[in-house]
Amino acid sequence: MGAFPRLRYEVRMMAKLNHPCVLELVGVSIKRLAFAMELLPSGDLASYISDVYKQRIREFVAGEVVHESVLPRKLSFKIAYQLASVISYLHSAGVIHADIKTNNVLLFSTDIRSPINIKLADYGISHEMDVGGVRGDVGRNVFCAPEIIKGLAFDEKIDWFSYAIFLYHLISGTIPFQDETYLATISQVTSGSRPDFKYFNYSMRPQLPNVEGLMEECWRENPDDRPSGKAVIDTMQDLSFMCLRRRMALQSESTAVLYTNCDDQNDTDNKYFVYIWNHDGQVIERDVATGDINGKVIKVADQEEIDQVLCACAFDRTHVVGTSKLIIQT
């Protein structure tokens, strides 16, 4: 496609879009084959993430295990939600962006109080949906879906695969397979390999399990197995999506109740634990941040003395539970 047809195509695409996270088209110059868009002086999100990552890398390596995302938690969630919102909008308008990546997401504001934090740009290789699938130009980089690499027809689900890689970059500050050659990266993606949060000199536990779960759903190999835009938005609008910080695997299926020591005034280390009371008469103490078991498992009562636990609390390192037989045990 020549310069003028490409310009005309992108202008036509942008002119029919109306969403707060779509970069606004201001005007077009036919004489010099250019168009003007709203100015976002903060630049692209990829550069911002890179700058923050460089500032924090020594801190990450020194800590060995990082219990947070690169950007602040609330800002990460808002950026993730706003991009999901605009992708879903594009699909409802019959448009496949086909080049979702952090370089094409422009930073509007880093203030979490701002209603808008990012805007999606670059619609030059976007496509209109077709019931038989689409072929044509797409962004060919680490963000692209396996079906694109394989040269197959594609639909809007390619944008959700790219969104998953976007989430990985947003959370970790790193681009997947960045130390690999392009051909090696293609081989990794088409073979089903996906990045994790373990690196050469540190690992990351971002405390965003729902975002990680959504990421894993969106980068599934089969496009039909990836969620729809509606499913993504519904998931992210659930009140628990942002609140959940970590999932912990339990060693027993007979768990009766969980409780924490968040009100423990004697907690001089400023660490918080979750206690798991099970029907074996044990209280297992696990660190809220890491999920690791701390110290010894506490034997509280013999199994035959345990009834169904309805409530529990930790007070001055004493564990008190109330049972269905109206008995309080410590």
Question: Which of 165, 249, 245 lies closest to 208 in space, CA to CA?
Answer: 245
CA-CA distance, 38 to 106, in Å (whole number)? 11
- Mean pLDDT, to the nearest integer, of 15-40? 79
Chain segment 42-62, per-residue pLDDT in tens: 999 999 999 999 999 999 998
298 and 228 assigned to the same domain: no
Residue keyed to tokens 């094409």: 104
CA pseudo-torsion sign 219, 225, 230, 231: negative
Report phi then psi at 75, rounded to 5.
-65, -40
Task: Give the end of a domain, one of 215, 243, 271.
Answer: 243
CA-CA distance, 220 to 192, in Å (whole number)? 8
Q: Residues 6 or more apart from 207 whose CB is under 8 A from it?
A: 67, 68, 69, 73, 245, 246, 289
Q: For residue 188, give the DSSP letter.
A: H
224 and 320 assigned to the same domain: no
117 and 260 assigned to the same domain: no
Question: Which of 90, 92, 102, 150 lies closest to 126 in space, CA to CA?
Answer: 90
249 in a domain, yes or no? no
pLDDT confidence of residue 253: 56
CATH of the domain at 266: 2.40.10
pLDDT confidence of residue 267: 46
Question: Which of 160, 305, 175, 311 lies closest to 236 in space, CA to CA?
Answer: 160
273 in a domain, yes or no? yes
250 in a domain, yes or no? no
CATH of the domain at 96: 1.10.510.10
Name, of 57-61, 127-131, 168-172, 191-195, the range with top average pLDDT.
Answer: 168-172
Question: Of the ranges 48-57, 131-140, 166-175, 295-304, which one carries the lowest mean pLDDT score?
Answer: 295-304
pLDDT confidence of residue 127: 86
Task: Label residue 40 by pLDDT band (50, 70, 90).
Answer: confident
82 in a domain, yes or no? yes
CA pseudo-torsion sign 187, 193, 196, 199: negative
Q: Is 99 a catalytic residue?
A: yes
Question: Of the ranges 201-210, 249-258, 271-280, which one carries the lowest mean pLDDT score?
Answer: 249-258
pLDDT confidence of residue 284: 66
Task: Label residue 268 by pLDDT band (50, 70, 90).
Answer: very low
Name, of 125-139, 180-194, 208-222, the range with top average pLDDT.
Answer: 208-222
Task: Label residue 157 by pLDDT band (50, 70, 90).
Answer: very high
260 and 292 assigned to the same domain: yes
Per DSSP, the residues of 94-163 read TEE----SGGGEEE----TTSS--EEE---TT-EE--TT-B-S----STTS-HHHHTT--B-THHHHHHH
239 and 262 assigned to the same domain: no
215 and 264 assigned to the same domain: no
| Domain extent at residue 107 | 3-243
166 and 297 assigned to the same domain: no
Instruction: Look up the pTM and report it.
Output: 0.77
238 and 265 assigned to the same domain: no
Task: Give the end of a domain, one of 243, 276, 296.
Answer: 243
pLDDT confidence of residue 213: 93
Chain segment 200-232, per-residue pLDDT in tens: 899 998 888 899 999 999 999 999 999 999 999
User: Which is catalytic among the residues 44, 51, 99, 234?
Assistant: 99
H and E: helices and strands count for the chain = 9, 15
Question: Of the ranges 1-15, 82-96, 101-115, 156-170, which one carries the lowest mean pLDDT score?
Answer: 1-15
Rg from Cα positions in the chain:
24
Task: Label residue 259 by pLDDT band (50, 70, 90).
Answer: low
13 and 102 assigned to the same domain: yes
- Helices marked H in 173-308: 182-190, 209-218, 229-237, 240-243
Residue 299 predicted with pLDDT over 60: no
Report phi then psi at 203, rounded to 5.
-130, 165
Which tops the pLDDT comparison, 92 or 269?
A: 92
Query: To the nearest whole percent, how much of the chain has pLDDT over 70?
Result: 70
309 and 203 assigned to the same domain: no
248 in a domain, yes or no? no
Task: Give the end of a domain, one of 222, 243, 264.
Answer: 243
What tokens were used for 253?
A: 């299926």
**Number of domains into which the chain is organized:** 2
CA-CA distance, 329 to 199, in Å (whole number)? 46
Question: Of the ranges 152-166, 186-200, 264-278, which one carries the lowest mean pLDDT score?
Answer: 264-278
